Chains A and B, each alone.
Chain A
Amino acid sequence: MKFVTVFGALVLAGAAFSLHAKTELLVYTAVEADELAKFKTAIEADYPDLDIQWVRDSTGIITAKLLAEKANPQADVVWGLAVTSLKLLADQGYFQPYAPKGVEALDQKYVDSAKPSQWVGQRVWVASLCFNTVEAEKNKLPTPASWQDLTKPEFNGKVVMPNPSSSGTGFLDVSAWIQMWGEEKAWKYMDALHDNIAQYTHSGSKPCKMAAAGEIPVGISFAYRGAQEKSKGAPIEVIAPKEGVGWDLESFAIVKNTKKLEAAKQLADWSVTRKANEMYSEGYAVVAMPGVAKPVPHYPEGISSKMIKNDFEWAAKHREAILAEWAKRYDGKSEPKK
């Protein structure tokens, strides 16, 4: 009896100790919420000592939060954030350089060229259109095949797009248009598009969900969201415009002076493994590790070949100026569409 009590107490103490030994890792992320639980489970299965705590928001908010906390950073790791934002922070010395174990296996164009790297790319998210076929029929809308199609008069008030200030998806569109067409033509295009835009949303997912609900027939969004909505039964078509589509790289970095450096390194190591890359590829067509990606259901055909040649250095450097110009032109200028 006594033995059992002592033994039980020991087991309890042991359990308490091992619970205590779990390291809570505060991870800021812009990864879509419907994927986070899956990642947490997988990471903690491989590193049982880790306890991942996500802080999830849109790219713009996470970036703003990181900047606001610059004097006293809270996050241990930034994970799955647009590389254009990470570069901006890296230039301010926000991150701890670290080369994760096995980073050599990744396509080096997705990894910071500094040695050791400040940030490591995970996967690519690509712009796409979500087009509601039921509403299109009601409104006699032709299926748009190009960005230019969206400026046609029949799409007046029928297009919704994410605000590039808050949404990483919105920013990669604007950045891509400027990179593809040059400043002048791109802004002229956006002026014309602006006349057709019903509203600019805060998040990159929302335009596609609005299209899925028929609230606005065309949503400028990204491929993963389109595929997800379509597989849930929404009457939409996911389209990659023919001129080319913008993209950005979800990446991670370790915050400098984190008190949990060892745990952060474990997460970094996990994030470049084949297993991680296989998980990344479940909803995304391009991931950092070559040979892992496989076709994703409901993705627009040939979307990879339409991805533009993307200059992250340029995009990160001009992010502020582009957003300021965008805000000057389109923020609050217009009354609501009648």
Chain B
Amino acid sequence: MAEAAVLAPPRIRPRLSRDEWLMGGGLCVLALYLAITLLVPLVIMLAKSMQDRDGVFVSLANFIKYFTNPALTGAIGHSLWVSALATLIVIALAFGYAYALTRGCIPFKGFFRLVAMAPLLAPSLLSAIALIYLFGNQGALKGWLFGESIYGPIGIVLGSVFWTFPHALIILITALSTADARLYEASESLGASRWRTFATVTLPGARYGLISAIFVVFTLVITDFGVPKVIGGQFNMLATDIYKQVVGQQNFQMGAVVSLILLLPAVVAFFVERWAQSRQSSAVSSRAVPYHPKPRPVRDLALLGLVSLVALVILGILGMAAFASLAKLWPYDLSLTLRHYDFNTADGGSWTAYGNSIEMAFYTAVLGSLVVFSGAYLVEKTRIAKPLRTATHLLALIPMAVPGMVLGLAYIFFFNAPGNPLNFLYGSMAILVLATIAHFYTVSHLTALTALKQLDPEFESVSASLKTPFYRTAWRVTAPMCLPAILDIAIYFFVNAMTTVSAVVFLYSPATTLASVAVLNMDDAGDTAPAAAMAMLIVFTAGAVRLLHAGSSRWLHRRTQAWRGC
């Protein structure tokens, strides 16, 4: 040691290698992209919150006005407890479900996985519409609520649980599907009970995923406006308040104030997530032995019961929506008809909108998965410019907390400002694609990061010592190993682009009307049956795409995932 200290040369800055230059440059491009499609529009919104209607700076006057209005501040409490309750239910159910699929020995895993993903195929509005048909004043199961009204917190919680369930499930399955069998063997040979093994091996292994899932679901619920819009009745939430401020009272400044309040949970979530990540170590080292679940009849039966019940509820809600779209004149004439699928007389609906949605979803999937995976790769693997990586990662987390409507409005202010060289994008298909990618960036980013984190960094060290450029390792090793995750991201983008409403509701033009917006508009106008019909059309389309994906990813899994050993 002493000798080494004596011989140590004076400190010099290590020269950046070509790899580092390239990756640093890539990071800069990515940061710029996120700044333009996310940060700058949001900063403009921030500025709006401190202006009066004529654009004069008024400091915190709008905030004071907000906090002295109890009708408005009441929404903060509403949003928090409804989101917390929905999150609690979703995480409990999704963890059990994910555990059953990854660690249980139950039959029909593929089927259950497919069913659980079904809510992803529908706009969040669909669950609310179906709940009205099930539990509304003319609802088939109205008695189940013991006289409580579905219009309000009950409806919002139920609807939110339905549509956010798969979002949590995806993260938890990813977190639980890789485990090192050696840890379980060790635990068993040390005589630990099954509960103790669960508490000391399984849970810590899934800790990062659990925290991510909680953070994701909570912010999804609190920022969603589709469900409370349809079924919230008079129960106001922050997201619907933004809508009311902006749309109803044309008070963009107050809308900006409410959105900033809505941003707070995300800031908290960001620090929690950073903390969790700092404690995360690679789940799979290059020496790991894949874990294979062994049958345990009692546990497996309980798990099968749980997944069957959840699957039944999901299918029931979808089935109700399908029936609603076919019943002639609910509830007086229940004969079946296809007339609600003739959208030309309904509000904002048309088959053109459906075609536009498919086009938009396709572009979003291709461009989105490319940007997100490259971005996550650069954030995770670059060895220089730590502040830039942190900043980029922070940027990538913001969208989760930004209600789509706020993003949409921010886009109007930014892209429609006179003198903005990007003005030509306004009203085009491109702006819808950009907004949708930005809106759904976070979950995709986290999925990509989780997949990348599961790979041992030794792959990079080895290839660096072999003087292989990073992009070759990325292309030959990292990307193929992460291919299932990349495909998941592409499908996630496609399906969300089909189903999103809030991100695009202020941005579509007559040439780019969308199916999901048509669902909202038709429900708003009281055309509930055609709204259900359009929503079902989205479900069928997204379902077909997902089935294709399931087939291709099974093939891919065989080709590229043999290293997982299962």
How many A-B contacts if CB must be within 8 Å? Answer: 159
Q: How many residues of B contact A (CB 8 A)?
A: 59
Please name the residue on chain B nearest to A199 by beta carbon.
B233
**B248 & A165 in contact (Cβ 8 Å cutoff):** yes
Residue in A closest to B413 when the chains form the complex, CB atoms: A68
Contact across chains for B75 and A332 when beta carbons are under 8 A apart: yes
Which B residues are CB-close (under 8 A) to A207?
526
Task: Report whether A203 and B252 are in contact in the complex, using a CB–CB cutoff of 8 Å.
Answer: no
Interface presence of B344 (CB below 8 A):
yes
Complex CA distance for A200 and B240, rounded to whole angstroms: 13
Contact B330 A213 (CB under 8 A): yes
B74 in contact with A199 (CB, 8 Å): no
- Contact status A334-B234, CB under 8 Å: yes
Using a Cβ–Cβ cut-off of 8 Å, how many residues does chain A contribute to the interface with B?
60
Asked whether A178 is an interface residue with its Cβ less than 8 Å from the other chain, the reply is no
Min CB distance, A282 to chain B, in Å?
14
A26 contacts chain B at the CB level, 8 A cutoff? yes
Interface presence of B290 (CB below 8 A) = no
In the complex, are the beta carbons of B345 and A34 less than 8 A apart?
yes
Q: A213 with B138: in contact, given A199-B234, A335-B152 (CB under 8 Å)?
A: yes
In this assembly, does B97 line the interface, its C-beta being within 8 Å of a C-beta of chain A? no
Chain B residue nearest to A202 (CB atoms) is: B524
> Which residue from chain B places its CB closest to the CB of A73 in the assembled complex?
B416
A75 vs B521: C-alpha distance when bound (angstroms) = 20
B413 touches A331 (CB 8 A): no
Chain B hits for A61, CB < 8 A: 247
Contact pattern, B 44-77, Cβ under 8 Å of A = 1, otherwise 0: 0000000000000000000000000101101100
Given A56-B348, A203-B524, decide whether A332 and B241 contact each other with a Cβ distance below 8 A. yes
* B249 contact set on A, CB distance < 8 A: 165, 320, 323-324, 327
Binds A, one of B143-151, B201-209, B495-503: B143-151
CB contacts (< 8 Å) of A338 on chain B: these are 147-149
Contacting residues of chain A (167-223) with chain B, CB-CB under 8 angstroms:
197-203, 205-210, 213-216
Q: By DSSP majority rule, is chain B's interface helix, strand, loop, or mixed?
A: loop
Structural contact, A68 and B138, CB atoms closer than 8 A: no
Interface residues of A in 33-59 (CB under 8 A from B): 33-34, 37, 53-58
Closest Cβ of chain B to A322, distance in Å, is: 11
Which residues of B lie under 8 Å from residue A296 when comparing CB positions? none
A252-B210 Cα distance, complex, nearest whole Å: 55
Q: Chain B's nearest CB lies how many Å from the CB of A26?
A: 7
A338 to B248, CA, bound (A): 26
Contact of B524 among A58, A165, A333 (CB under 8 A): A58
Are B418 and A33 in contact (CB-based, < 8 A)?
no
Q: If A58-B524, A163-B248, A327-B244 touch, does A332 touch B74 (CB 8 Å cutoff)?
A: yes
CB-nearest residue of chain B to A166: B248
Q: For the complex formed, measure the closest distance between the CB of B286 and the CB atoms of chain A, giving whole angstroms.
A: 54
B510 touches A53 (CB 8 A): yes
A301 adjacent to chain B (CB < 8 Å)? no
Residues 301 to 338 of chain A near chain B (Cβ within 8 Å): 320, 323-324, 327-328, 331-338
Q: Across the interface, do A64 and B247 meet the contact criterion of CB distance under 8 Å? A: yes
Interface contact A216-B137, CB-CB below 8 Å: yes
Residues A166 and B149 in contact in the complex (CB < 8 Å), given A34-B345, A331-B71, A332-B74: no
Task: Chain A residues near B78: list those with CB within 8 A.
Answer: 332
User: A335 touching B417 by the CB < 8 A rule?
Assistant: no
- The one of A53, A332, A333 that contacts B511, using a Cβ cutoff of 8 Å: A53
User: 7 interchain pairs (CB within 8 A)?
Assistant: A68-B413, A68-B416, A213-B329, A235-B332, A323-B249, A333-B234, A337-B234
Residue positions of B touching A, CB distance < 8 A: 69, 71-72, 74-75, 78, 132, 136-138, 147-149, 151-153, 229, 233-236, 241, 244, 246-250, 252, 329-333, 344-349, 409, 412-413, 416-418, 423, 426-427, 506, 509-511, 521, 524-528
Q: Top 5 nearest A-B pairs by Cβ distance?
A: A165-B248, A209-B526, A332-B236, A336-B152, A206-B526
